[in-house]
């Protein structure tokens, strides 16, 4: 069967500023919370490799863009680092950064690759984090100014903007499950942080609309479809709905419908954990929904009714309402510890079609992190990552099916273009279409999957029985 995708489908990949750029003498970048955390606790990072060491894109973007062309990209997403553009979070704009992002964006356009630009990818400027980061309302104002600055500087050429990448992750990582700085466990702050992120997004959208530019603006959310252990067990179903409210609808609903989910509000009200909201905020959120939705999909969430004891010591937690369920026989990516469930991508697209007005969307991340890929290098020095080709193909088939059934999904970006720095996992798991050899000055080599992706993009699809 031939899987053909709609005309002008977006083929490409995604990355972020903090995971790729690196820091260099004279670049005048300010510290983000990652730079600070690495300075404080380098042992938290795999092999003690920090963000300063990312894939040197700051210097090598021209070479990288040439490789994007060779791997069939017609579009590519990255993020501006707030701490590079405005080193203190507020105030002076770094002209070195302006020059860099201008050249990077122009080079993409000149090579026929449309830049999709995201404004926030987990990287709070440290000067703002010291004052509470997203927990502090002042950060919302600072972010609005930062967003406007980006639109003014680059909005004449960039036509696809995103306010956040996976806004739930700084909430989970920083304030619930301790995998991001400041590693707190504090539901009150978690809720306030989430609320401020959602408000900041709406304010940036409002600012963008006021400027009457030609492009579109949206948000990128990671959707983890929540499946109950047993669909016929009402307790399991309820638990899965609560997990869905916390981790999916918390951002999806305000972004697309302009309202927070009623069940989540009720739950937070019951435990006296509603955020502080100012007059007029909810109208801003209501009026400034997204034009376009980016969806990152890696894994489903399997849920069962709460069986384990609630941990009183931590205070309220989302997990007070459900347990994660290890489904027997599930297919796993053992390196990352994430389940692979291809049909999840179809289920979420159909959900967007049916419950979210078929909002225009695209798959903004999907991919497979694998450790020790050197094992698969062939005699020509190319990594034969057939498992990645399989992974992408199996997901694309379900994207194709969703399109047949009317989903308005406009593209597929894989995570990521070239192997990059994965936060505390640093360079443990590799995700790219292109390998980066850290022992050889970051030398780039296209993997088998990158060559395959070029054919898919050229053909606008693939053949498969």
Q: Which of 83, 429, 449, 457 binds ligand BG6 (CB under 6 A)?
A: 429
- 43 given a catalytic annotation: no
| Smallest separation (angstroms) from ligand BG6 to the CB of 17 | 11
Tell me which residue has its CB nearest to ligand BG6.
422
Beta bridge partners of 418: 434
In a 13 Å sphere around the CA of 15, the CA atoms on its Cβ side amount to 28
**Distances from the Cα of 147 to the Cαs of 88, 162, 171, 464, in angstroms?**
15, 10, 21, 44
- Residue 342 CB: number of other CB atoms within 10 A? 18
Count the neighbouring beta carbons within 10 Å of the beta carbon of residue 233: 13
- Residue 365 binds ligand BG6 (CB under 6 A): yes
Measured distance CA(166)–CA(162) in Å, rounded:
11
Q: Is 16 in the site for ligand BG6 (CB under 6 A)?
A: yes
| 347 C-beta neighbours (distance < 10 Å), count | 17
Q: Which ranges of 13-92 does DSSP label H, i.e. alpha helix?
A: 17-20, 33-40, 57-70, 82-85
Residue count, binding to ligand BG6 (CB under 6 A):
14
Note whether 425 binds ligand BG6 by CB under 6 A.
Answer: yes
Query: CB-wise, 117 or 239, nearer to ligand BG6?
Result: 117
Note whether 143 binds ligand BG6 by CB under 6 A. no
Looking at 10, 37, 415, 462, which residue binds ligand BG6 (CB under 6 A)? Answer: 415
Residue 162 or 346 having the CB closest to ligand BG6: 162
Residues 261-300 that bind ligand BG6 (CB under 6 A): 296
Is 247 one of the binding residues for ligand BG6 (CB under 6 A)?
no
Of the listed 114, 172, 241, 365, which one is catalytic? 365
For ligand BG6, the closer of residues 187 and 295 by Cβ is 295
Going by the DSSP 8-state scheme, the letter that residue 32 receives in this structure is B
Contact region for ligand BG6 (CB under 6 A) — 64-72, 257-265, 395-403, 419-427? 419-427
Please state the separation of Cα 333 from the chain's center in Å.
19
What length does the chain have?
Answer: 465
Catalytic residue among 166, 172, 241, 339: 166
Between CA 158 and CA 165 the distance in angstroms is 17
- Asked whether the CA dihedral 245, 251, 252, 257 is positive or negative, the reply is positive
Least distance (Å) between residue 166 CB and ligand BG6:
5
Query: Of residues 12, 218, 369, 442, which one binds ligand BG6 by CB under 6 A?
Result: 369
The nearest distance, CB 367 to ligand BG6, in angstroms, is: 7
Which of 134, 173, 137, 149 has the alpha carbon at shortest distance from 81?
Answer: 149
User: Is 464 considered catalytic here?
Assistant: no
Residue closer to ligand BG6 by CB (options 241, 385) is: 385
Output the smallest distance, CB 400 to ligand BG6, in A: 23
Give the residue from 36, 151, 140, 137 showing the smallest Cα distance to 83.
36
> Per rule CB under 6 A, is residue 413 in the interface with ligand BG6?
no
The tokens describing 194, both together, are 């989430």
Asked whether position 165 contacts ligand BG6 by CB under 6 A, the answer is yes
Report in angstroms how near the CB of residue 15 gets to ligand BG6 at its nearest.
Answer: 8
Within 10 angstroms of residue 205's Cβ, the number of other Cβ atoms is 24
Beta-bridge partners for 32: 125
Residues 328-347 interacting with ligand BG6 (rule: CB under 6 A): 336
Contact residues: ligand BG6, CB under 6 A: 16, 19, 165-166, 222, 296, 336, 365, 369, 415, 422-423, 425, 429
Q: Which residues are catalytic?
A: 166, 365
């Amino acid at each position: 069967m031939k899987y053909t995708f709609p005309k002008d489908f977006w083929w490409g990949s995604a990355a972020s500023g903090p995971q790729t750029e690196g820091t260099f003498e004279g670049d005048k970048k300010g510290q983000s919370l990652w730079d600070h955390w690495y300075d404080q606790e380098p042992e938290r990072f795999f092999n003690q490799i920090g963000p300063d060491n990312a894939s040197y894109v700051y210097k090598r973007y021209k070479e990288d863009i040439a490789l994007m062309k060779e791997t069939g990209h017609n579009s590519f997403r990255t993020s501006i680092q707030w701490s590079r553009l405005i080193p203190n979070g507020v105030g002076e704009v770094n002209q070195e950064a302006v020059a860099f992002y201008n050249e990077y964006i122009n080079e993409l356009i000149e090579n026929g690759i449309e830049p999709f630009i995201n404004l926030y990818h987990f990287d709070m400027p440290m000067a703002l984090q010291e004052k509470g980061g997203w927990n502090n309302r002042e950060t919302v104002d600072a972010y609005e100014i930062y967003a406007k600055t980006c639109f003014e500087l680059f909005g004449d050429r960039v036509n696809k903007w995103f306010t956040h990448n996976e806004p739930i992750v700084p909430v989970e990582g920083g304030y619930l499950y301790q995998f991001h700085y400041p590693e707190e466990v504090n539901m009150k702050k978690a809720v306030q942080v989430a609320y401020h992120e959602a408000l900041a997004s709406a304010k940036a959208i409002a600012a963008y609309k006021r400027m009457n530019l030609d492009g579109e603006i949206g948000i990128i959310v990671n959707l983890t479809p929540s499946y109950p252990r047993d669909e016929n067990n009402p307790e399991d179903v309820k638990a899965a709905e609560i997990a869905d409210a916390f981790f999916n609808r918390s951002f999806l609903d305000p972004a697309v419908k302009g309202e927070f989910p009623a069940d989540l509000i009720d739950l937070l009200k019951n435990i006296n954990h509603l955020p502080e909201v100012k007059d007029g905020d909810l109208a801003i959120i209501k009026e400034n929904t997204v034009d376009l939705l980016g969806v990152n999909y890696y894994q489903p969430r399997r849920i069962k009714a709460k069986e384990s004891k609630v941990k009183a010591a931590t205070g309220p937690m989302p997990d007070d309402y459900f347990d994660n369920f290890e489904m027997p026989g599930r297919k796993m990516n053992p390196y990352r510890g994430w389940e692979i469930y291809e049909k999840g991508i179809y289920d979420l697209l159909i959900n967007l079609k049916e419950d979210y007005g078929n909002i225009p969307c695209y798959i903004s991340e999907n991919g497979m992190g694998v450790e020790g890929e050197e094992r698969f290098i062939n005699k020509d020095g190319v990594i034969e990552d057939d498992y990645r080709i399989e992974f992408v193909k199996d997901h694309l088939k379900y994207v194709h099916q969703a399109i047949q059934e009317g989903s308005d999904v406009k593209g597929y970006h894989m995570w990521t273009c070239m192997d990059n720095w994965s936060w505390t996992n640093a360079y443990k798991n590799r995700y790219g279409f292109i390998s980066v050899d850290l022992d050889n000055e970051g030398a780039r080599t296209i993997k088998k999957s990158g060559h395959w992706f070029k054919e898919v993009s050229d053909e606008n699809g693939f053949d498969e029985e």
